[in-house]
Structure 1
Amino acid sequence: MAQPALSTTIDFALPPILHNAQGQVRTVGVEIEFVGPSAEKTVQALQEALGGRLVEEDPHAFALKESAIGDLTVELDSRILHPGKQAGTQRGVLPKIAALFGFAASYLVPCELVTAPTPIDRLQDLGRILTILRNLGARGTQDAPFYAFGLHFNPEIPRQDAATVAAFMKSFALLNPWLRREASPDATRSFLGFADPFPVKYVRRIAAPDYWPEIPAFIDDYLAFNPTRNRDLDLLPLLHHFDAERVRAVLPNEKINGRPTFHYRLPDARVSDPGWSIAPDWNRWVCVERLAADRERLDAVGAAFLSFEGEDKSWADVMEQIVRS
């Protein structure tokens, strides 16, 4: 008698704080990078499967409005190919050149699919996107060894206050050696310079149980150690949302769009793998939220880190025990 096939479906964990301060279910935006089908072909397939209204923003950037799983955008992931989105750009020669260059670059530059903010309790709906991409022949990390493809989460901050920002930053920094090990960054990503971890001096500063600054001091500390977007957890959009002038004083020309979300950057999008799901990476993010929500435990872990003298891989073992307990 044949044995039933094992289910490969992985449930999406819910964070300890599901609703924002207004009582609404928190949202998360998801970004997935891939190569293969063009942005236009991809958005047409999405529209066929999910319905909605297709909008062409330029020859290499498209939006799908009011689909069955909300709004989506698909575009080649390069600013120079979308001059119409840059302030002060006029219609004319430059957009035409960008369009022509984009058709050539489409063989080299990944596409980026970005969802609108999606209620956290509906993340499972986004699994339909991966099926559509696979059916189109989209390729990811395991198929293109000389490219770097990412998966990004943009979860809404549950409370817009200093204590919440500090708690999440502490939790993420303490868990990061374990997170990076579990995510198993592709060797190509390391070669191409995937996001650097937070400097040890910064982690030791924020890990202290008495480190609970107000927003201005937190921003100043963050920018002193991290004047860059090149971090696994990029806080610049969130900090820009809180105090744009303070952030711009240090980073006047950096591309930053302020929003009340974290920006969690992961190095691996295996879109052609039928067994790949975004759920495991999301569930590890929920581990960050759980530790952040437990002030007593968070302070204890921070104190333990300050007295720890081993290597990152050994600290990752410690954090794995914390997560599993």
Structure 2
Amino acid sequence: MAQLALPTSIEFAMPPVLHNGQDRMRTVGIEVEFVGPTAEQTILALQEKLGGQITEDDPHSFVLQDSTLGDMSVELDSRILHPGKGDKSHGRVLPRIAAWFGFAARHLVPCELVSAPVPLDRLHELDRVLTVLRELGAKGTQDGPFYAFGLHFNPEIPRQDAETVTAFMKSFVLLNPWLRREVAPDATRDLLGFADPFPPDYVRKVASPDYWPDVATFIDDYLAANPTRNRDLDLLPLLHHLDAARVRAALPHEKINGRPTFHYRLPDARVSDPGWSIAPEWNRWVAVERLAADRERLDAVGAAYLAFEGEDKSWANVVEQVVQS
């Protein structure tokens, strides 16, 4: 019997708009959560494979600069373990306690690896980072019943204008039932707090073919319905970049770093699985970009959604046909 030849990797799809408003290749960064190796062990392994210079911010926070994949950071994902990054009055009192607690808690508190933005046509190279983590014995979502580790994408917005922001938001809320079904978070992940979907009334507002607001109105509507970072597509960093004063007036104490990117949060980082790649998750994001770039189809899908009387799971079957066509 002839052996079936299987592909050795998954192709990374490219979105329809590759360049930003300055005609430069758009960029995307990733964030990956895991447990097992310390932040220091991880950054040293990355340096060995990718080169660069290491800077230590504290015993649980490191930066690798000028690697072959650009800058990246690794740190325990808890603000209390990095007192120097928060309230400076605490920073003079707590560093030793924070360092000790970090070593004690590192098997429960995940490390977070954050890459600098890389050009879209180099995104596939970030799969090399997963190989480094696996070789270190890093563990992911599937390795414990209460592990809740995520993968996040930070794709640069193609144009910093109201029409682009609105089109992406429309596309995402219309495809989100399908996206969430494909990601298939299990009951444990829901219990541990995977990001909430957008409120139904807000989805219906955004989905309307007549909804094409200016930036100020879009931000006000978003903040009224979503005064939180707890969304699969967190727009607060982007909206803060577009109008920091408006966002801060509504959320004066929220931790937000403004940047011209979307923040797409996924609930599953299977870093110990030798077959796991970020490609499938990225390719589903590209489906959002493709629909966002097609104004006629986008309006038609929005009108169909408003007329649809079924549940989200049934709508997911409908929009799956849109994605595949």
| TM-score (normalizing by structure 1) | 0.98
Q: How far apart are 1:171 and its partner, in Å?
A: 0.2
1:72-151 aligned at under 5 Å gives the runs: 72-89=72-89, 92-151=92-151
1:287 aligns with 2:287: yes
Moved more, 70-79 or 83-92: 83-92
Q: How far apart are 1:249 and its partner, in Å?
A: 1.2
Q: Which residue of 2 aligns with 1:307?
A: 307
Q: Which residue of 2 aligns with 1:226?
A: 226
How far apart, CA to CA, are the structure 2 residues paired with 1:297 and 1:3? 42
1:195 aligns with 2:195: yes
The runs of at least 4 consecutive aligned structure 1 residues that moved more than 2 Å come to: 1-5, 87-93
CA RMSD, Structure 1 to Structure 2 (Å): 1.2
Q: How far apart are 1:90 and its partner, in Å?
A: 6.7
Q: How far apart are 1:207 and its partner, in Å?
A: 0.7
Q: Which amino acid aligns with 1:39?
A: A
Q: Which amino acid aligns with 1:165?
A: V
Q: How far apart are 1:93 and its partner, in Å?
A: 2.7
Q: How far apart are 1:88 and its partner, in Å?
A: 3.0
Q: Which amino acid aligns with 2:232?
A: D
Q: Which residue of 1 aligns with 2:240?
A: 240
Q: How far apart are 1:86 and its partner, in Å?
A: 1.6
- 3-state SS in 1 of match to 2:239: helix
**Residue by residue, what CA displacement relative to the aligned partner does 1:101-155 show, whole Å, maximum 9, x if unpaired?**
1111112100000000011110111111111111110000100211210000000
Cα 1:2–1:48 shift into 2, 3 Å: farther
1:254 aligns with 2:254: yes
Q: How far apart are 1:96 and its partner, in Å?
A: 1.7
How far apart, CA to CA, are the structure 2 residues paired with 1:51 and 1:102? 26
Q: Which amino acid aligns with 1:74?
A: V
Q: Which residue of 2 aligns with 1:154?
A: 154
Q: Which amino acid aligns with 1:41?
A: Q
Moved more, 36-45 or 94-103: 94-103
- Equivalent pairs counted in the alignment come to 325
Mapped contact 1:43–1:62 kept (Cα < 8 A): yes
- 3-state SS in 1 of match to 2:74: strand
Q: Which residue of 2 aligns with 1:21?
A: 21
Q: Which residue of 1 aligns with 2:216?
A: 216
- 3-state SS in 2 of match to 1:265: strand
How far apart, CA to CA, are the structure 2 residues paired with 1:89 and 1:324? 55
Cα 1:91–1:250 shift into 2, 3 Å: closer
**Residue by residue, what CA displacement relative to the aligned partner does 1:51-107 show, whole Å, maximum 9, x if unpaired?**
111111110000111111111100000011111112534753312221111111112
Gaps of 5+ in 1: none
Q: Which residue of 2 aligns with 1:42?
A: 42
1:66 aligns with 2:61: no
How far apart, CA to CA, are the structure 2 residues paired with 1:75 and 1:186? 26
- 3-state SS in 2 of match to 1:142: helix
- 3-state SS in 2 of match to 1:65: strand
How far apart, CA to CA, are the structure 2 residues paired with 1:167 and 1:91? 43
